[in-house]
Every structure is written in structure tokens, then in C-alpha cells.
Amino acid sequence: MQNGLSASGTCVVITGDASGSTLDCQGRTITGSGSGYGIYLTSTTGVTVRNCVVTNFGKGLYLEYSDENNVINNQLNSNMDIGIYPYESNNNNITGNNVNSNMWSGFFLLEANNNNITGNNVSSNGNGIYLEASSNNTLTNNNVSSNGDGIRLYSSSNNNILTGNTANSNNGRGIEVHSSNNNILTGNTANLNSPGIYLDASSNNNILTGNTANSNTDGIVLESSSNNTLTNNTANSNTYSGIHLDASSNNTANSNSNYGIGVYTSSGIVFSGNAVCNNANYDFYCSSSTTSGNSTYGTNYDCTVNKIGTCGT
């Protein structure tokens, strides 16, 4: 591309006939008028899009029925709807992009599976990275901060792996898992959100290990979600609870360093190996203990634990 481009609708269209090709904008800008797609890949395989600046379209980069493509080192900024939108597009590599100030969402993956999303900077969007009905994706080392919500796994987005992402200072939730199962969250940081990490609407059998959720309204919240495992997470200096369980059963919370664990109408909780000390109101708090039964206190250490409520023991 010799010069920048502008269009009143969709600008660059790459179809299956161009599979295996490369679009290298070399830092040039593709500018829209608020509608259409800046770059549109449809039914492609093996296309590389790199070094493009795409701004002021409806959707910056739209992948439709497109697999095994590479989206590398682009800037998708100030689009009216979505920055990067894979729809029914699988096994794509989306790496090192700046996706900022898009009105509805930076990323939106819809029915898109087995994609690799790594090292992207996603800020000041309505949502940061939003997956709906999208499974087996890997999100690694993305900075998803200062959005409405940070990272959202929504509506049967199952078996995704989130590792080493930063989701700080979002207006809503740092990381949300909604009605989605069997996801693995490891070594993520979700600070200064409302709350930090939030599992709700029957999000079951998820594993949270080594995450940090500090200085949020609540650190880690499980609501109506069961059979999750929380291990070696840090949730300090949150306004309410470090870990908050509400109507959530058979969760295991091990070796957390929290300022307070709150349990509400939940059962089958195992508390073991936690450092839960010197909280303003409570260390362990159990509400409605008649329905918060069958829970177990193991060896919780570092201080004399202040327990309020029975938690069934």
C-alpha cells in the first residue's frame, strides 16, 4: 500500500481467493466515516494483516469464517463498534495489537474457537476483550485496562485459558466469567476494578490459581457458581471482601492471602491454608448459617482467625 486509504463504507476486502497473502500497511492509516469495515477478511486462510492503523469505521478488522490467519502489530482505534471482531473464525493468531477507544468493545469473539490472543494492549473501550459462545481460546499477557469491563467470558465460553493478563482500573469487572465452565485463570492481575474477578450465573468447574485481585470493591466473587477451585490467589485491601461466595457450593479455597472471606447462603466450602488476618470487620464471615452448612475449616494460619457465623461446623 503506497499511501493511506479512506472510505465511506467498507474499505479493504480480502476473500478466500487471496488466502496466503500478506497485507502490510507499513504504518499507514485506513480511515472511515463511521460505518462499514476497515479491513474485512471473509472465508480466508493463512492471510497476514500487519502494521495497519484502522480508525473511524463501524468495525476496524472483521474476520468472518476465516481460519489460521495472523493479525499482528496493528492499531484499531476509535471505531464506532468493535476494534477486532472474529465471527465463526478459528485458529487465528492475534498478537501485539493496540486496540483502543472503540465504542462498544476492543475485541469481540462470537462463536470463535481456538484463537491465540497474545500481547495486545486494549484500553479505553466499552468492553476490553469479550468472548461469547467462544471456547478453547488462549489469552496471554494482554493489558486490558481502563475499559468499561476488562475481560468477559460470556454464555458458554468454555475451556478457555487466561494467563498473565493485566485487567486493572476498569470501570466494571476486571475479569468476568458468566455462565461459562471449565476455564483456567492463572497468574492474572485484576486490581482497582468493581470487582476484580467475578464468576456468576452457574459458572462451574473453573480453576483460579495464582491470581492477584487487590484494591477492588470485592477481590474475587463467586455467585451461583459451583465446583470451582481457588488456589494461591492474593486478594488484599479490597473495600468489602477479599473472596465473596454467594449461593455457591462445593468450592475449594486453598492457600489464599486475603483480607477477609465472606460466605452467603453457600454450602460445601472447604477453607484450608488461608492467611486471613486483621480485617476491619471479619476474617471469615458466614451469613445465613442454616443454609451455609456442611462447610469445613481446615488449618488457616498466620493469626488468630476471627470467625463470625458457624459455616456448619
Secondary structure of 13-34 in HEC code, one letter for each residue = EEEHHHCCCEEECCCCEEECCC
Position 247 scores a pLDDT of: 78
Q: What letters, b where the CB count within 10 A reaches 16 and e where it falls short, cover 104-124?
A: bbbbbbbbbbbbebbebbbbb
Position 87 scores a pLDDT of: 98
Question: How far, in Å, CA of 16 to CA of 227, rounded?
Answer: 44
Q: What are phi and psi of 18, to 5 degrees?
A: -100, 15
Interval 126-147 mean pLDDT: 98
- Does the pLDDT at position 305 exceed 60? no
Give the count of domains, the chain.
Answer: 1
pTM score, whole prediction? 0.93
Please indicate, yes or no, if residue 181 is contained in any of the structural domains.
Answer: no
For a pLDDT cut of 70, what percent of the chain falls above it? Answer: 88
Cα separations in angstroms, 90 against 60, 106, 234, 261, 277: 18, 18, 34, 39, 46
Please indicate, yes or no, if residue 15 is contained in any of the structural domains.
Answer: yes
Please indicate, yes or no, if residue 23 is contained in any of the structural domains.
Answer: yes
User: In the structure grid, which three cell numbers stand for residue 231, read together?
Assistant: 488456589
Q: What angle do CA 187, 241, 123 make, to 5 degrees?
A: 50
- Does the pLDDT at position 301 exceed 70? no
CA dihedral of residues 15, 19, 20, 22 (deg, nearest 10): 0
Contact between 58 and 38 (Cβ < 8 Å): no
Burial class (CB in 10 A: 0-12, 13-18, 19+), 299: exposed
Question: How far, in Å, CA of 108 to CA of 60, rounded?
Answer: 11
Please indicate, yes or no, if residue 47 is contained in any of the structural domains.
Answer: yes
Question: How far, in Å, CA of 75 to CA of 41, rounded?
Answer: 17
- Does the pLDDT at position 288 exceed 60? no
Q: Tell me: the pLDDT tens digits for 159-186?
A: 999 999 999 999 999 999 999 999 999 9
Q: Which range (128-137, 217-226, 254-263) has the least confidence? A: 254-263
Question: How far, in Å, CA of 97 to CA of 137, rounded?
Answer: 17
Interval 297-309 mean pLDDT: 61
Q: Which residues pair with 239 in a beta bridge?
A: none
Interval 204-219 mean pLDDT: 94
The secondary structure of residue 263, as a DSSP letter, is E
Q: Tell me: the pLDDT tens digits for 63-111?
A: 999 999 999 999 999 999 999 999 999 999 999 999 999 999 999 999 9
Cα separations in angstroms, 155 against 158, 177, 228: 9, 9, 17
List % helix, strand, coil for the chain (3-state, nearest 5).
Answer: 0, 45, 55
Please indicate, yes or no, if residue 228 is contained in any of the structural domains.
Answer: no
Position 56 scores a pLDDT of: 98
Please indicate, yes or no, if residue 35 is contained in any of the structural domains.
Answer: yes
Position 21 confidence tier, pLDDT thresholds 50, 70, 90: very high
Mean pLDDT of the chain: 90
Half-sphere exposure of 275 (CA within 13 A, CB side): 7
Position 157 scores a pLDDT of: 98
Please indicate, yes or no, if residue 301 is contained in any of the structural domains.
Answer: no
Interval 12-41 mean pLDDT: 98
User: In the structure grid, which three cell numbers stand for residue 161, read together?
Assistant: 485459558
User: In the structure grid, which three cell numbers stand for residue 286, read together?
Assistant: 458466614
Q: Tell me: the pLDDT tens digits for 193-210?
A: 999 999 999 999 999 999
Residue type, 42: T
Q: Which range (46-60, 132-146, 261-275) has the least confidence? A: 261-275
H runs (alpha helix) in 57-213:
none
The secondary structure of residue 291, as a DSSP letter, is T
Please indicate, yes or no, if residue 297 is contained in any of the structural domains.
Answer: no
For a pLDDT cut of 90, what percent of the chain falls above it? Answer: 74
- Give the domain range for residue 73: 1-102
